[in-house]
Amino acid sequence: MKIYQCILATALLCVHSIAIANVELTLPSNSELLLINGKEADGNKEPSLKNGENQIALRYIGRYQQQGSQTQFSSDVIIVTFTAKDKQLTIGFPRIRSTRDADAFNSNPQITVKDSSGTSVDFQQGLLIKEGLQLGRDYEEEISIYNSSNKVAAIVALAAPVILASPPINTQAVTALPTKDSKAISDQVNVGKMLDFWYEQADEETKQAFKLKINAK
């Protein structure tokens, strides 16, 4: 009986290890998930991430009562970068009750990242800011550019690929266009080849006559 219990306990432990062999992330209900590791997120589905370094981008979407009416709040895009292994993490937002709270959050978002035991997890945080009109934003391009910077929440591996400039043309290696003189030299070379050809075709008497004619010049 004890052997059976040991086998069962071992099997359950293995199943549990497989089940959490990555990073499970729980998001606030009042959030909008935009990016996971540089790629557009699949709706607001809570992601299962690979072990190691990860980066997400999300926005706080909330409401608060202001002078008797409901005010909608949509924060700037928050970038969160963290490193974890086989963890169940939860991101938390503070409660916003006024325009003052909303402005303070946009200026310096106070969020939390905790594991299943309630212990805080280290993370880096940044903002994906775009000035002017916010419609039609390409978040994948924006985060790629952000990751090319040296900002605190950037991941170099997710940066935009570097496009190398074309090497300068080596003018010395470029074949010069034929000039009048070079064409004349080329013609003379061809003439010389023709003379050699006809000399080899001639009989000995003709060759001797040709040599005498050359020497007489």
pTM exceeds 0.95: no
For residue range 148-170, list pLDDT tens digits in order.
Answer: 999 999 999 999 775 555 555 56
Per-residue pLDDT of 37-66, as tens digits, reads 999 998 777 889 999 999 999 999 999 988
Averaged over 179-187, what is the pLDDT?
Answer: 58
pLDDT value of position 198: 64
Residue the block writes with tokens 């937002």: 93
What does the block give as tokens for 6?
């040991």
pLDDT at 9: 44
Closest CA to 55 of 33, 72, 75: 33
Give dist(CA 111, CA 120) in Å, integer: 11
3-state SS class at 17: helix
Which residue has tokens 């009109």?
A: 133
Provide the CB-side half-sphere exposure for 183 (13 A, CA).
4
Higher local confidence (pLDDT), 140 or 5: 140
Distance of CA 192 to the CA centre of its chain: 62
Give residue 118's pLDDT.
96
Radius of gyration of the chain (CA): 38
> What is the C-alpha separation between 110 and 200, in angstroms, rounded?
96
| Average pLDDT for the chain | 80
Q: What's the rounded mean pLDDT across residues 77-87? A: 97
pLDDT of 201 higher than 80: no
| Predicted pLDDT at 192 | 64
pLDDT the model gives residue 54: 97
Q: What is the mean pLDDT of residues 59-87?
A: 93
pLDDT of residue 181: 60
Q: Does the pLDDT of residue 125 top 90, yes or no?
A: yes
Give the mean model confidence (pLDDT) for residues 192-201. Answer: 64
* Mean pLDDT for the stretch of residues 16-28: 73
Strands (E), 4-47: 23-26, 31-36, 39-40
What local confidence, expressed as pLDDT, does residue 68 receive? 81
Residues in CB range of 88: below 8 A, 6 or more apart = 20, 23, 24, 26, 115, 116
Pairing of strands 48-49, 123-128: unpaired
Return the SS3 of 13: helix
